[in-house]
Amino acid sequence: MSRIHPAAVNRYHDHDQDHPLELQDVHDHRVPPSALTVWKRSSMSFQGTDGFTVFDDRGILTFRVDNYSRKNCCVRGGLVLMDGVGRALLTLKPQMLSMQDQWNAYRGEDGCGKSPKSSRVFAMRSGSGLFGSGNKSEAAEVFMGAHATGTPDFRIEGCFGRRNCKIRSRSGQLVASVARKRVNNTVLLDNDVFNLVVQPGFDLDLIMGFVIILDRICGKPFTPILCS
């Protein structure tokens, strides 16, 4: 496989404050979008692991998800999104008895225990188009906070399995896009390596959480989740 990041990927500039999980209100058009390279491979390099390793445009390790197996639908401890140095940012867990393949996100490692709905950051579920109604191009919908009802705060349009989708806000504003990655603008890489471009003013932690759940609910036959 073509090289997709510099060798020195373990450098990470930590922040003095925790990453905010809410969207920022200010959109500065002078700030360029954040371009991330997402590699569907755990940073635990031994055989059988499954996860994500994510680099910024300078090749710095920004996010990681380490998971030992994908054989079972039940992820009992949740998938934990970490920053480059291993600090837990979000815990992502499937919803018990969900009829629309719903996953919930919690701050840090809160989701590893029994947490009330009030601690939930967001819920993502498969789009209505998967069930013969609504917009057929809608892959998933996201509800911020404790209640997954009403109008979604975000919609994912397109096909994540083909690495061709967009995340839009409730107003229709483009938030982020996923696309196949090219090397030197010519060589198209396999689906396990792709680009995630996030528009200025939107939280990278939050959007990366969306992407991880999309990987779980898209591109596979629908089966109700019976575990949490």
The answer to the question of residue 24 being in a domain is no
CATH code of residue 127: 2.40.160.200
User: Widest CA span of the chain, in angstroms?
Assistant: 48
Place of tokens 């959109």: 27
Going by C-alpha positions, the residue among 18, 44, 9, 55 that lies closest to residue 193 is 55
Q: Is there a domain that residue 20 lies in? A: no
Domain-embedded: residue 5 = no
Instruction: Determine, yes or no, domain membership for 11.
Output: no
Task: Let me know if residue 29 belongs to a domain.
Answer: no
Residue 215 DSSP one-character state: H
The tens place of each residue's pLDDT in the chain, 228 residues long, gives 334 443 333 332 333 344 444 454 445 567 789 999 999 876 555 444 568 999 999 999 999 998 655 444 445 557 899 999 999 999 999 887 666 689 999 998 765 555 556 689 999 998 754 443 344 567 899 999 988 788 999 999 999 989 999 999 999 999 999 999 988 877 788 888 999 999 999 999 999 999 999 998 875 544 443 333
Q: Is the dihedral of CA 153, 215, 71, 109 positive or negative?
A: negative
Is residue 224 a part of any domain in this protein? no
* Number of folded domains that form the chain: 1
Alpha-carbon separation of residue 118 from 101, 123, 217 (angstroms):
20, 12, 23
Domain containing 48 equals: 34-217
Whole-model pTM?
0.76
